[in-house]
Amino acid sequence: MRVIDAVSEGSGRIISWLFLCTVFSVFYEVVGRYFFNSPSSWGFEVSLYGSAAAIIIAGAYCTKHQSHIAITTLQEIVPVKARRGLKLFNLLFAAVVCAVMAWATAEWGWKALISWQRTGSAWNPPAPALVKPLIPLSFAMMFLQNIVNLCRVWKGTRDTSINSEIEV
């Protein structure tokens, strides 16, 4: 459980730098385009694929910290004792969805990688070959992190890294 937590935490912290690099590439593109009338051929794709990779990889970090957007209306109206059951159901359901998505996207990601798929633009980088394989890997990591979170709720242990108002 600690290894999965560490990978989720580490990937989230590392990928935050990719967001920062994406911001700088957008800034460079805007300044070049609007102040010097000299747009780059790569600015849009760097920001697009950089953001995509960062968002994809951030899934496990968000799962670890339970920071995905959640609709908690039902959770708030049921008795406190029933909330644990709802939490277990939600984590199990999320784990199943992530496992199915990891399996469903694995071949697609693998084909993009082995064919070194490119964007087809003027710059034509192999960005799809690098980003598409991250999708099944991220779903697999979110699956594992949901299982870890499920075990914690099941055992009734509290992890300070998990933002949860549910009494376990």
Tokens representing residue 3 in the block: 């290894």
Asked if residue 168 is part of any domain, the answer here is no
Structural domain span for residue 87: 2-155
Number of structural domains the chain divides into? 1
pTM: 0.86
| The two structure tokens encoding residue 67 | 């920071």
Nearest CA among 164, 112, 167, 159 for reference residue 8? 159
Residues 6+ apart with CB under 8 A from 25: 43, 46, 47, 50
Whether the Cβ atoms of residue 99 and residue 143 lie closer than 8 Å to each other: yes
Residue 57 forms part of a structural domain: yes
Q: Does residue 165 belong to any structural domain of this protein?
A: no
pLDDT at 159 (0 to 100): 54
pLDDT tens string, the chain, 168 residues long: the values are: 899 999 999 999 999 999 999 999 999 999 999 999 999 999 999 999 999 999 999 999 999 999 988 888 888 899 988 999 999 999 999 999 999 999 999 999 999 999 999 999 989 999 999 999 999 999 999 999 999 999 999 998 765 444 554 444
Q: How far apart are CA 12 and CA 66, in angstroms?
A: 13
Cα first-last separation, the chain = 18
Q: Is 133 among the domain residues?
A: yes
Residue 164 lies in a domain: no
Q: Is residue 65 part of a domain?
A: yes
Distances (CA, A) of 53 to 24, 78, 84, 115: 16, 38, 33, 19
Residue 113 inside a domain? The answer is: yes
